[in-house]
Amino acid sequence: MRGNKKMKRIYVKEEWCLGCHLCEYNCAFANSGESDMVLALKGKPIYPRIHVEGGEKITYAVSCRHCEDPICLKSCIAGAITHNEGVVKIDREKCVGCLTCVLVCPYGALAAGEDGLMQKCELCLQNAFGAPACVSGCPNGAIVYEETEGSQ
Amino acid sequence: MKQYVIIGNGVAAAGCIEGIRSLDQNGGITVISEEPYAVYCRPLISYYLEEKTDPDRMRYREIDFYKKSGVRVLYGEKATAIDAQKKKVSLASGDPLCYDALCVAAGSSPFVPPFEGLETVEHKYSFFTLDDAFALEKDTDKKKKVLIVGAGLIGLKCAEGLRDRVGDITVCDLSDRILSSILDAKRAAAVQRHLEANGIRFLLKNSVKQFDRHTALMQNGECVPFDILVLAVGVRPNKELVQKAGGEVNRGVCVDDRMQTSFPSVFSAGDCAEGTDASCGEKRVLAIMPNAYMQGFTAGVNMAGGDAVFNNAIPMNAIGFFGLHVMTAGTYTGDVYEESDEAGSKTFFIKDGFLKGFILIEKTERAGLYTSLIREQIPLEQIDFERMKKSATSAAFSEQKRKTMFGGKKDAAV
């Protein structure tokens, strides 16, 4: 579970972020199960698993860091969070929406979905995209998916 | 091969198993479980009554958890004594167990005050275990009236769980406010209004003087009729095994930051243990589930010969009632900063340049950023806290810190 194996992670470069929020739309689309982006998103509130923070001077996208030692997993009162091969996942069948994971995530990376239960970035590995849609859709290369020196 | 024994089979025990196995794949682990169930999510019993979960989904770990972890579980067994010199645990029915390292993760038990006439009440319950929830489930119907004694977390989650199953619910408490362990008067009043709007009736600064079968005579003279009584006055740490063995106890079993008790080979974790509250530096029993897991894991690592420390435990709760989210953390001391509107409120407690505690009603977005300020004791002068008060955002941190958090850069200072 907690190997030293290098895992690819999503990193952001705030100096490149335009604050365009496209990552949020691409995320919501990738996780919608729809094949048409307009059908999936038009006229609906979106609940992406990545969000843009910042202000006038800087912006950057925040999503799950897939920590090596995830405090959300250790804190979940429903045993709904798991960590396998570098991916932290949440089982929505088990989640009761208590938001303890929101209370403990030191990155402010987690938010509930439309139904009040938690959802989170699972790197698009299980959806039709197969790789993070926020990364491939970023127009300025401000979100990357790679192995780097950092560890969480 | 080392022999590990764990007394208790709750979340602290699960953490302990995972802690041991992170270092030692071979040692024998025996778990003594009074309850006849695999480790389950105790706080979910109210969600069970609401039919938002079921026993299968309430499992804390996968169905093959013990098998995969090489753990022997003695269900329905009870530890009766610890001999710390001979390193032996006596059992109620089985042969004594010898250990190289022991973890006392015995949890806590509901405390029942000696109410006059309590013995005349037939339909009385605690709300603490899965069996309590099953028993209540069987006994409820739409015509019945429920009296819950205790307006703390357990009593109020019970009220929420029972609301749609029974006719009416009254909650009484000696305190002048609900959730007195985690809310100040103003916030307690706000949450109380929400609960009242959802059909829960309160009798505060008032408790039961005497029970007579289906009636509670209150201290103020009021008579409250009920069909079902739930006693949720509080819980007490199960420290007796360690105490009788001659180990150091206070309110709970005294442990250091390695979860070691006064006996070198005996560790303790979870609701029975009294560790340090990092938000105030005092020794406290922090009977919350995240703490139980992390203490258990720390104990497990150290039992297996590692050197783990858990020194940033703080009280914290994320709790919801009928759709209203409440989050609290830390200690309520120092200057108070408040921000509120119709949607909810944020209250921060700041002392000596550090965030010490907070209470958030509904405004819970990215609350973990606030929690990390308390847990990591980050000096507020290093961040733009004025901005943080309005909205939790890592944009209030230094660029360097953000790059460490999100940019994959190592070793940057805050």
Cβ distance of B47 and A108 shorter than 8 Å? no
Sign of the Cα pseudo-torsion (B53, B59, B60, B63, in order): negative
Beta bridge partners of B282: B277
A137 and A95 both lie in a single domain: no
Mean pLDDT over residues A6-10, rounded? 83
- Is B320 in contact with B335 (CB distance < 8 Å)? no
Alpha carbon distance B390, B322 (integer Å): 26
Average pLDDT, chain A: 92
Taking an 8 Å cut-off on Cβ atoms, the answer to whether B393 and A53 are in contact is: yes
pTM, full prediction: 0.95
ipTM, two decimals, is: 0.95
Do A129 and A113 reside in the same domain of the chain?
no
Query: What is residue A56's predicted lDDT score, i.e. its pLDDT?
Result: 83
Question: Does position B219 have pLDDT exceeding 70, yes or no?
Answer: yes
Q: Which fold has domain B118-233?
A: FAD/NAD(P)-binding domain (3.50.50)
Matching fold, domains B3-42+58-108+236-303 and B118-233? yes
- Which of A96, A117, A135, A147 to mutate against chain B (most B CBs within 10 Å)? A96
Q: Using CB atoms and an 8 Å cut-off, which of residues 371-400 of chain B contact chain A?
A: 371-372, 375-376, 392-395, 399
Is A1 a domain residue? Answer: no
Domain assignment present for A113? yes
Regarding whether A52 and A32 lie in a shared domain, the answer is yes
Whether residue A75 is found in the same domain as residue A102: yes
- Chain B residues near residue A13 by CB distance under 8 angstroms: 407
Q: How confident is the model at residue B411 (pLDDT cuts 50, 70, 90)?
A: very low
Same domain as A130, residue A113: no
pLDDT tens-digit readout, B312-338: 999 999 999 999 999 999 999 999 999
| Cα distances (angstroms) measured from residue B102 to each of B105, B184, B242, B294 | 9, 39, 11, 17
CATH code for residues B323-406: 3.30.390.30
Asked which of A56-60, B71-75, B77-81, B266-270 is least confident by mean pLDDT, the reply is A56-60
**Residue ranges covered by each domain of chain B:** 3-42+58-108+236-303, 118-233, 323-406
Q: B185 pLDDT exceeds 80?
A: yes
Whichever domain contains A105, its CATH number is 3.30.70.20
Average pLDDT over every residue of B232-260:
97
Domain of A105?
68-120
In a domain, A79, yes or no: yes
Of A79, A103, A149, the CB nearest to B367: A103
Let me know whether A59 and A129 are in one domain: yes
Q: How far apart are the two ends of chain B, measured CA to CA in Å?
A: 44
- The radius of gyration of chain A's CA atoms, rounded to the nearest angstrom, is 15
Q: What is the DSSP string of B205-243?
A: SB-EEEEETTEEEETTS-EEE-SEEEE-S-EEE--HHHH
In this complex, the residue of B15, B318, B393 whose CB is nearest that of residue A100 is B318
Q: How far is CA A71 from CA A75, A105, A109, B75, B393, in A?
A: 6, 7, 12, 30, 19
Q: Which of A77, A106, A149 sits opposite B43 (nearest CB)?
A: A77
- B328 to chain A, closest Cα gap in Å: 9
Answer whether residue A3 is part of any domain: no
Chain A CB contacts of B399 below 8 Å: 14, 58
CB distance from A145 to chain B under 8 Å?
A: no
Please check whether residue B407 touches A, CB under 8 A: yes
What would the mean pLDDT of B229-234 be, rounded to a whole number? Answer: 96
Question: Which spans in A1-152 are helix H?
Answer: 22-30, 37-41, 71-75, 100-104, 133-137
Class of domain B3-42+58-108+236-303: alpha beta
Residue B399 has, within 13 A of its CA and on its CB side, a CA count of 6
3-state DSSP call for residue B80?
A: strand
3-state secondary structure of B342: coil
Assess if residue A57 is contained within a domain: yes
- Domain of residue A33, CATH code: 3.30.70
Question: Would you mind telling me the total number of residues written for chain A in this entry?
Answer: 152
Give domain status of residue A4, yes or no: no
Does residue A55 lie in a domain region?
yes
B:20-79 residues touching chain A, CB 8 A cutoff: 22, 41, 43-44, 47, 52-53, 57-61
Task: List, for residues B295-306, the tens digit of each pLDDT value.
Answer: 999 999 999 999
Contact call for A151 and B372, based on CB within 8 A: no
**Is A32 among the domain residues?**
yes
Q: Tokens 């783990």 belong to which residue?
A: B308
In total, chain B counts a number of residues equal to: 414
Looking at the structure of chain A, the number of domains it has is 2
For A14-38, the pLDDT digits (tens) are 999 999 999 999 999 999 999 999 9
Residues A58 and A129 in one domain: yes
Give the pLDDT confidence of A100-130 residue by residue, as tens digits: 999 999 999 999 999 999 999 999 999 999 9
